[in-house]
Amino acid sequence: MKRRSFIAGLGIAAAWPAVARAQQRAIPTIGFLHARSRSDTEYMVTAFKQALAETGFVEGRTLQIEWRFADGQYDRLAEMASDLVTKKVALIHAGTDPAAVAARRATSSIPITFVVGADPVELNLVRSINQPEGNATGVNILTGTLEPKRLGLLRELLGPNRTIAILLNPKFGPRNSIMISNVETAAATIATV
């Protein structure tokens, strides 16, 4: 009888780690994708982690985060987004227009949250503002729609006979054409006033 008890005990001891692992909840992993560097966005990272903590998600305890920063090299975003998809993250948070576009192109099944300045419909992130559908949703901080207002304010400050130029980041991709179109439309409207 002692031998059977010993063997049964040994079997339970050998199986216990597998049972314990099965009883533990898997910790979800999310991806954070940003076009700028970590040092440039540290205040956003801090706010992001704080907001997660307020809802019970603490990095390293109840949640893992795969951080991806392109350091201004926008051409790296597609590869970084694909890497997050390969790692099967539960969600991708994209902090800029180019990062959101890269994430959306990389997956149509993993949920994506974004913060963008341009119209998310024009960036093809969502079908419409009222009914985003698909796997992406987020916040539009309206910076793209403010370009005409900025132009109008500059005209008021400088007077009607002044030349105004805009500077654009050539790496900003689809956002530039939208911004140029908005400013040209506003300039044409202002010229007639």
- Take residue 18 and report the two structure tokens written for it: 């597998």
Strand order in the sheet with 29-34: 64-69, 29-34, 91-94, 112-116, 136-140
The whole-number average pLDDT for the span 26-46 is 93
| CATH code of the region 29-141 | 3.40.50.2300
Share the mean pLDDT of the chain.
Answer: 82
Average pLDDT over residues 140-162: 79
Say yes or no to pLDDT of 85 above 50. yes
**Considering the entire predicted model, what is its pTM?**
0.71
Residue 140 makes CB contacts below 8 A (sequence gap 6+) with 116, 117, 118, 119, 120, 129
pLDDT tens-digit map of 168-192: 777 666 667 777 777 788 777 776 6
Q: Which of 34-43, 107-116, 140-149 has the lowest mean pLDDT?
A: 140-149
At 173 the pLDDT is 64
Q: Which of 55-59, 70-74, 112-116, 161-165 has the lowest mean pLDDT?
A: 161-165
Domain positions in the chain: 29-141, 145-191
Per mean pLDDT, which range of 40-49, 91-100, 143-152 is the poorest?
Answer: 143-152
Max CA separation in the chain (angstroms): 103
Whether residue 79 is predicted with pLDDT greater than 60 in this model: the reply is yes
- Work out the pLDDT band at 144, boundaries 50, 70, 90: low
Q: Would you put residue 29 in left (φ > 0), alpha (ψ -120 to 50) or beta? A: beta
Could you tell me the pLDDT band of residue 52, with boundaries at 50, 70 and 90? Answer: very high
pLDDT category at 20 given cuts 50, 70, 90 is: very low
Of all residues in the chain, the percent with pLDDT exceeding 70 is 81
Q: Which residue has the higher pLDDT, 11 or 155?
A: 155
